[in-house]
A = this chain, B = another copy of it.
Amino acid sequence: MRVLGVDPGLTRCGLGVVDGGSGRSVSCVAVDVVRTPVDAELPRRLLQVSEAVDDWLDTHRPDVVAVERVFSQHNVRTVMGTAQVSGVVALCAARRGLPVSFHTPSEVKAAVTGSGRADKAQVTTMVTRLLRLKKAPSPADAADALALAICHLWREPIRARLAEAEARAAELARTHKARLAAAAARRRDDTTGTGLTS
């Protein structure tokens, strides 16, 4: 499976393509950062990001796009721009019928470093090691994009298995409920029958 990880941002948007192999093996296909000028108007900046993402989707043909889930706890202005970029990225994927998966920063950190509270340097170190890169990806947004893709590759099988187990449990519950209802209906019929003949 090939994943395009996106660390959304207006000033710097990290893009990283990672291929998942057997087990936990992962390899880096491409990584870069799209920058848009701070003094440009917002619609223009969003257009530039969307064109870059479209370009990456054309070039690398990922099976899925993994995007960082944005929270609004930080700087309001930055967060709004980041949310807008993540919306535009999700749209680019949806236009091609590609699935989009959102992961929180702590899920990503936990996936690659083992701790949801790891710092940026740790994430970069682990990404460099996991992908056996000769040089640490820079800036941090590039490393984060790769970490997102790895996180998706490793979490997806677990998520899928969980979803399957949940579906199976729901099916069992449904069957059990139907049996109970049938038994209750039989008891009702028996009672009604008794009532009629008495």
Contact = CB atoms under 8 A, between A and B. Distances in A.
Interface of A: 41-44, 46-47, 50, 70-72, 76, 79-80, 83-88, 90-91, 93-95, 99-100, 102
A198 B164 CA distance: 97
Contact of A47 (B41, B46, B70, B95): B95
A106 to B, nearest CB: 16
A64 to B, nearest CB: 11
Contacts of A88: 87-88, 91
A43 B79 contact: no
A46 B76 contact: no
A88 B83 CA distance: 10
A93 B86 CA distance: 17
Contacts of A84: 83-84, 86-87, 90
Count identical subunits in the complex: 2
13 contacts: A43-B99, A46-B87, A46-B90, A47-B91, A50-B91, A72-B72, A72-B79, A80-B83, A83-B83, A84-B84, A84-B87, A88-B91, A91-B91
Given A84-B83, A86-B84, A43 B91 contact: yes
B91 A46 contact: yes
A43 B80 contact: no
Contacts of A94: 43-44, 46-47
A21 B93 CA distance: 41
Contacts of A79: 72, 83
Contacts of A43: 90-91, 93-94, 99-100
Contacts of A95: 47
Contacts of A76: 71-72
